[in-house]
Structure 1
Amino acid sequence: MDLIHYLTAFLFLVLPASAQFQFFEQMFGGQQQQQAQPQNAGSDSAWFQQQYEAAHCDKYLCPATLSCVHFPHHCPCAFPAVEDKVEFGDGSMVCVSKGGWAEGEASRKIELARKGLI
């Protein structure tokens, strides 16, 4: 009978310790779940072409932003926080990096370049 008491006592000591170790193992990364790592964008234009072809637009589809607008010069800039939009008289437009210190500096330089002054 003493053997049964020893085995019972041993099981009562070992089983909670085993469960405790499993808990800590899960808490501190013993059984980490694999997280999907983001992949780098492809080095070719296949993804963009797929997006362009899948876009529905019955007017003008802006090539840089895939926005659907009535006219090409209505296209938004892709990064308006750092780009200025300059519209030309012929109905076209361009997005350029914002100029240095003055508001509208980029469009002023483009206009000077169009006139051949710089």
Structure 2
Amino acid sequence: MRLLLLTLLCSLAHLSLAQFQFFEQMFNQGGQQQQRGHQQQQDQPQNVASDSEWYQRTYEGAHCTNYLCPGTLACVHFPHHCPCPFPAVEDKVELGEGSAICVSKGGWKEGEAMRKIELARKGVL
């Protein structure tokens, strides 16, 4: 009888241990998956900061003996020589008196943005 009781007790202990090992493995694998997911997130490129610190550091660190364009950080002789940041979709329009602006390309025709600016200058648009 004692032997039967001892065997039964050992079996219950073994079952309990097996159950805990099962849950431990299950939760450890979940933790490993979370770590892998976290690692994958770290491997992806990070968004730029929402403040202007990077831009200020880059601007202050840029060497230019003439005029440093604030929008593109290009070094040019005069402010109106600054290039547009996105020339594929912007036209540069010189307004006179050494000033220029970049405007979105308009319409389907070449020079459409310039034409509209000239019409606005004349008060027609």
Q: TM-score, normalised by structure 2?
A: 0.64
> Alignment length, in residue pairs?
88
For 1:116, the aligned partner's letter is G
Larger-gyration structure (1/2): 2
Task: Name the SS of the counterpart of 1:88 in structure 2.
Answer: strand
After the TM superposition, which segments of 4 or more aligned residues of structure 1 sit over 4 Å from their partners? 32-35
Aligned residue number for residue 60 of structure 1: 67
Aligned residue number for residue 117 of structure 2: 110
1:74 is the counterpart of 2:110: no
User: d(CA) in 1 for partners of 2:60 and 2:76?
Assistant: 16
Q: TM-score, normalised by structure 1?
A: 0.67
Q: Structure 1 residue 114: deviation in Å?
A: 2.0
Q: Structure 1 residue 33: deviation in Å?
A: 8.8
For 2:102, the aligned partner's letter is C
Task: Name the SS of the counterpart of 2:103 in structure 1.
Answer: strand
User: d(CA) in 2 for partners of 1:33 and 1:102?
Assistant: 46
Q: 1:109 to 1:58 in 2, by over 3 A?
A: same
Unpaired runs of 5+ in structure 2?
1-38
Q: 1:91 to 1:37 in 2, by over 3 A?
A: same
Task: Name the SS of the counterpart of 1:58 in structure 2.
Answer: coil
For 1:86, the aligned partner's letter is V
For 2:76, the aligned partner's letter is V
Unpaired runs of 5+ in structure 1?
1-31
Aligned residue number for residue 95 of structure 1: 102
Task: Name the SS of the counterpart of 2:64 in structure 1.
Answer: coil
Q: Equivalent pairs: percent with the same residue?
A: 76
Q: By percentage of residues, which structure has more helix?
A: 2
Q: 1:115 to 1:55 in 2, by over 3 A?
A: same
Q: 1:34 to 1:84 in 2, by over 3 A?
A: closer
